[in-house]
Amino acid sequence: MEVARRRGFVWPSSEIYGSIAGFIDYGPLGAMLKRNVENLWRSFYVFQEGYYEIECPTVGNEAIFVASGHVKEFADKMVQCPHCGEYLRADHIAEENGIENAGTLSAEALQAALYELPCPSCKEPLGEAGVFAFNLMFQTTIGPGSQRKGYLRPETAQGIFTDFSRLLRFYRDKLPFGAVQIGKSYRNEISPRQGMIRLREFSQAEAEIFVHPDRKDHPAFHRYADYTAPLLTIARQLDGQEPAAMTMRAAVDEGVIANEYVAYYIALTHRILTAIGVDPVKLRFRQHLIDERAHYAADCWDAEVYSGRFGWVEIVGIADRTNYDLRSHAGHSGTSMTVFMPYDEPKRVVKRRITADMGVLGPRYRGKAKAIADALAASEPGEDGARVTVDGEEFFIPADLYQVREEEVEVRGEEVMPHVIEPSYGIDRMIYVALEHSYAEEEVEGEIRKVLRLPPAVAPIQVAVFPLMNRDGLETVAQTITERLTQCRILAQYDDSGAIGRRYRRQDEVGTPFAVTVDYETLEDNTVTVRDRDSMEQVRIPIERLPEVLSALISGAATFREIRA
Ligand code: GAP
């Protein structure tokens, strides 16, 4: 983090006024790294999967979050130290003191567990300090003098759900389809003491994939069927075992993962995380325990990455959320959130139609007659009549006040409410673990070399261009090369300050994978050296081949060893 701050990746926000925990600024290199990570994510979800990206406001009407359940449920358990007054996250204190799965404990159980534990700030025992639910949403009002309540979105997902009908039309009324959103989310975290891991404003990349509830076979499952990922299943957790590597096909066939969609996105997540520089040995997929999983979810897995500083950290959540979100929004908004699924062949079915005698019902029940007739149409009448409820009032309608007819009708299909598969990524956490896992200190020629081994696809600067000396025309050639590489959409940086060794070290520290050096030989034969950050080996290349060679190295189409051979 010291290198990250000093070299312009990330630092606390608004330091000149005293920064507030949970807010960070990305500096020039950090912002570039973030864009690259987001673009790599897009290359999979938007380009490979074909899920278009949308962009919704970060401020939302209260109604959205009432329907989504966030107003009522999106709370963490909080405790206030009776001695120093510090607000603390109750389950975190319990977990830091060895109580496992404290997040699943009730407020009362947590309160009892905290009794003898010390406050992390003043070290006094928390004693009888009460445990309360604290809603994590930032509330605001919309418009001047307005009473209209709004919230900063706590996740990007809700915009995709509220846009469901428009997206369905965009995708020509067919399932499956998906939409993604990358953007800021806000959570008023109680006590964010974990740097980039727990922020109050952070970026998420979420995909919502709408599938037929009975067809959860991914159409391109073959792509990842043989892909292996380390799975920490519920059973292995309960037995205290380590994760076991399994292919996605075996995990689905053996019922370990609920369906192909969830398995597919576990494999895809493994690919994305390792592609940004996460060490595969420190990556596992942990299945949510039954009491940890949302009651509506069919299956849920977290991609967890081991951090030397924070232990195992959740980076991505992958869930089969069934139709919970669409059902809630349909119920609260009164908008249909189903998809008409035509049958291959129309079917003839017998339907019962109940028609009320409005000539009698009208005068007898007046304003309620229409509602009673509607309720009657959906009722299950007995021999003497039907019992219906309207506005909480029960009515008995005798059998001579309606007619029951059975009719054969042609049905062309059915309305289906899709299920949602949701892979949800925390971009800032991805960046933190990529930085931590890429960072190394090694001894080279008696000196410590600090190096960020970021993969070329995400490195903020892809190529550094150095003139060996800042004279004799070397600098002009180096500047021309920098310009040429930038025109070829390679992120190149010209650097002529300090000794060449220092320039290499500076670029190693910020993760620049390749460095081009213009020397006196260049003036004679138009060749330059290309140095590989990781092996520190060099190769001589004609200037005109630089764009092609560097593009191949950056995209991974060629390795440095192949170029040297
Ligand atoms: N729509 C589902 C959802 O939002 P989540 O597990 O609450 O699920 C998804 O969040 C991801 O967002 C997490 O896995 C994590 O990487 C990231 N995230 C959540 N809260 C965060 C915070 N306070 N700071 C940074 N990242 C966070």
Of all protein residues, the one whose alpha carbon is nearest to atom 14 of ligand 1 is 316
The Cα 257–Cα 234 span in angstroms is: 10
Atom of ligand 1 nearest to the CA of 204: 12
The Cα 362–Cα 356 span in angstroms is: 10
Report residue 33's pLDDT band, with 50, 70 and 90 as the boundaries: very high
pLDDT score of 1 more than 90: no
pLDDT score of 197 more than 80: yes
Q: What pLDDT, on a 0 to 100 scale, did the predictor assign at position 128? A: 86
* pLDDT tens-place string over residues 266-280: 999 999 999 999 999
Q: Which pTM does this prediction carry?
A: 0.90
Q: What pLDDT, on a 0 to 100 scale, did the predictor assign at position 359? A: 94
CA of 364 to the centre of ligand 1 (A): 57
User: What CA dihedral angle connects 151, 155, 156 and 158, to 10 degrees?
Assistant: -70
Average pLDDT over the chain, rounded to an integer: 95
Q: Taking residues 291-297, report their average pLDDT.
A: 90
Q: Output the ligand 1 site: residues, CB below 6 A.
A: 155, 157, 187, 189, 198-199, 202, 204, 206, 314-317, 422, 424, 426, 428-429
pLDDT score of 94 more than 80: yes
CA of 176 to the centre of ligand 1 (A): 25
pLDDT score of 146 more than 80: no
Q: Taking residues 139-146, report their average pLDDT.
A: 88
Q: What pLDDT, on a 0 to 100 scale, did the predictor assign at position 40? A: 97
- Residue % of the chain over a pLDDT of 90: 89
pLDDT score of 106 more than 80: yes
* pLDDT tens-place string over residues 451-492: 999 999 999 999 999 999 999 999 999 999 999 999 999 999
Q: Taking residues 379-392, report their average pLDDT.
A: 92
Q: What pLDDT, on a 0 to 100 scale, did the predictor assign at position 565? A: 85
Who's near 164: CB < 8 A, 6+ residues apart?
A: 210, 326, 329, 337
pLDDT score of 205 more than 80: yes
CA of 336 to the centre of ligand 1 (A): 29
- Residue % of the chain over a pLDDT of 70: 100
CA-based nearest residue to 165, from 343, 333, 411 = 333
CA-based nearest residue to 70, from 164, 153, 148 = 153
Distance of CA 129 to the CA centre of its chain: 35
CA of 267 to the centre of ligand 1 (A): 19
CA of 358 to the centre of ligand 1 (A): 55
Q: What pLDDT, on a 0 to 100 scale, did the predictor assign at position 87? A: 92
Report residue 102's pLDDT band, with 50, 70 and 90 as the boundaries: confident
* pLDDT tens-place string over residues 63-91: 999 999 999 999 999 999 999 999 999 99
Of all protein residues, the one whose alpha carbon is nearest to atom 4 of ligand 1 is 155
Who's near 341: CB < 8 A, 6+ residues apart?
A: 175, 212, 413, 414, 415, 416
CA of 443 to the centre of ligand 1 (A): 38
Q: Taking residues 387-391, report their average pLDDT.
A: 92
pLDDT score of 300 more than 90: yes
Atom of ligand 1 nearest to the CA of 192: 23
Q: Which two tokens stand for residue 547?
A: 């764009």
Q: Taking residues 126-147, report their average pLDDT.
A: 90
CA of 203 to the centre of ligand 1 (A): 9
The Cα 427–Cα 176 span in angstroms is: 26
Q: What pLDDT, on a 0 to 100 scale, did the predictor assign at position 194? A: 87
Who's near 392: CB < 8 A, 6+ residues apart?
A: none
Of all protein residues, the one whose alpha carbon is nearest to atom 6 of ligand 1 is 317
Of all protein residues, the one whose alpha carbon is nearest to atom 18 of ligand 1 is 426
Q: What pLDDT, on a 0 to 100 scale, did the predictor assign at position 44? A: 97
Q: What pLDDT, on a 0 to 100 scale, did the predictor assign at position 549? A: 97
Report residue 445's pLDDT band, with 50, 70 and 90 as the boundaries: confident
* pLDDT tens-place string over residues 127-136: 988 899 999 9
Name the residue of 292, 314, 318, 422 whose CB sits within 8 Å of the most ligand 1 atoms, as the mutation to test its pocket: 314
CA-based nearest residue to 187, from 102, 75, 107, 80 = 75
Beta-carbon count within 10 A of 151 CB: 24
Of all protein residues, the one whose alpha carbon is nearest to atom 16 of ligand 1 is 426
Name the residue of 136, 318, 429 whose CB sits within 8 Å of the most ligand 1 atoms, as the mutation to test its pocket: 429
CA of 269 to the centre of ligand 1 (A): 15
Q: What pLDDT, on a 0 to 100 scale, did the predictor assign at position 193? A: 84
Q: How far apart are the first and last CA of the chain?
A: 37
Pairing of strands 492-494, 463-467: parallel
Of all protein residues, the one whose alpha carbon is nearest to atom 12 of ligand 1 is 426
Q: What pLDDT, on a 0 to 100 scale, did the predictor assign at position 273? A: 98
Q: Taking residues 78-106, report their average pLDDT.
A: 90
Give the SS3 label for residue 408. strand
Q: What pLDDT, on a 0 to 100 scale, did the predictor assign at position 145? A: 80
In sign, the C-alpha dihedral spanning 505, 507, 513, 517 is negative
The Cα 236–Cα 286 span in angstroms is: 10
Residues in the chain: 565
Name the residue of 10, 202, 305 whose CB sits within 8 Å of the most ligand 1 atoms, as the mutation to test its pocket: 202
The burial of 484, by beta-carbon neighbours within 10 Å (0-12 exposed, 13-18 middle, 19 or more buried), is given as: middle
Atom of ligand 1 nearest to the CA of 319: 2
* pLDDT tens-place string over residues 244-265: 999 999 999 999 999 999 999 9
Of all protein residues, the one whose alpha carbon is nearest to atom 26 of ligand 1 is 426
Report residue 317's pLDDT band, with 50, 70 and 90 as the boundaries: very high
CA of 204 to the centre of ligand 1 (A): 7
